[in-house]
Amino acid sequence: MIWLGFLLALQGASPLQPLQPPQAQPPLGIHSNTACPDAAQVAAKLNQLFPPALFGAVNERIEIASAPTSLRIDLSHDDGTPIVARVLKRSGDCAEMAGAVAVVVVAWEIQLHPELLAPPQLARRTSPVEAPPAVAAPARAAPPAVIAQTPSGTRAPREPLEARLMLGALASLVDGAWSAGARASILASQRGGSFGLAADLWGGSSRAIELGPGRVQWHRLGAALGPAWRRQRAPWTVIASIQAAVGRVAAQGLAFDVNQRSNDTLPGFGAGLMATMGSDRWFAWVSVRALIWPIQSRVQAVAVATTSALPIARSLGWLESDLTLGAGLRLP
């Protein structure tokens, strides 16, 4: 009877099989409305990328929605509050798409929970153990320096051009006598640059010199062009220039038996110093300048055989200086 029961027991028993430990699931609620990939495939890829034991207290939800050519991934809190979403283009089989979804999810979780990347704390040994001798780590070569280079054939963009238009009242000194006039100037340069081109146009009121029984009345119109150097010292801008000049002298005799009129054009050169102050648009300016006329114009009263050089300089007749005050406009 006992033997029969033993046989019955043997016949009812199933073959012994090894117990499989349950696959650990990440603490994320994964829901997918498609079989490619399904929630299980995504969970398996997550386990490979980031073991569940490292997730810690993570309770977000993952929703995977399928479209014909894409997958939409939505990450939300456990109460349904949306956090972030992304659309992936389908490329590859189901396993590859599951891996792509897992990579996106792990990246999101690391951004939400930086503590996931914290290194684990190792327990210290309680028993005294002699520490092994320290081994010096091999020296690492310094990484090569990276030098930014401009690609060949390309140039840095240039600053735009700007122009300073200036008008002012001029006081000119020749041979110890002052004369009033007007002056227009323009300075063209690159914005913020130190060098530019300066041009001037000016004219003065008539002067008179005694010549025998009569006198000669004359005036000069001048133009100049040359390089300029600019220096900014807030709130002032200082401009120095050297210019080639040309002057047209008009003279007329007065109180002679026969009064004649004459015009003469002469070359010259000069140098000046200017200072401006104001806003980025409007400014005031002051300038001092010296002009040299190496060739002098001469007038002659034939009746009395008397000659006199026009006073284009102080006592020697070759130097002219002026002072200008005015306002200017910067363009553009």
Residue 218 near residue 210, CB atoms below 8 Å: no
Bond preceding residue 82 cis, omega within 30 of 0 = no
The three-class DSSP label of residue 212 is coil
CATH number of 161-331: 2.40.160.20
- Residue 330 to residue 165: CA distance in whole angstroms: 6
Break the chain down into helix, strand, coil percent, rounded to 5.
15, 45, 40
Q: What would the two tokens of residue 294 be?
A: 């190496």
Angle (nearest 5°) at CA 295 between 294 and 298: 140
Beta carbons within 10 angstroms of residue 287's beta carbon? 22
Full pLDDT tens readout for the chain, 332 residues: 333 333 333 344 444 344 344 444 455 678 888 888 888 888 888 787 766 655 555 677 888 888 778 888 888 887 778 888 888 888 778 888 888 888 888 888 778 777 666 655 554 555 555 555 555 555 555 544 444 444 555 555 677 889 999 999 999 998 788 889 999 999 999 887 889 999 999 998 888 877 777 787 888 899 999 999 999 887 889 999 999 999 988 888 888 778 888 888 889 999 999 999 998 789 999 999 999 998 877 766 665 445 554 443 333 457 899 999 999 999 88
Residues facing 170 on adjacent strands: 181, 324
**pLDDT, position 13:** 40
What length is written for the chain?
A: 332
**Residue pLDDT, tens place only, 19-62:** 344 444 455 678 888 888 888 888 888 787 766 655 555 677 88
pTM: 0.49
Nearest to 202 by CA among 299, 326, 314: 326
Beta carbons within 10 angstroms of residue 48's beta carbon? 9
Nearest to 308 by CA among 175, 177, 188, 203: 175
Q: Write down the domain spans for the chain.
A: 25-117, 161-331
Cβ-Cβ contacts under 8 Å for 299 (sequence gap 6 or more): 211, 216, 218, 251, 253, 262, 307, 308, 310
**pLDDT, position 109:** 79
DSSP code for 8: H
- Residue 288 to residue 167: CA distance in whole angstroms: 14
DSSP code for 116: G
Q: What would the two tokens of residue 51 be?
A: 């073991």
CATH number of 25-117: 3.30.160
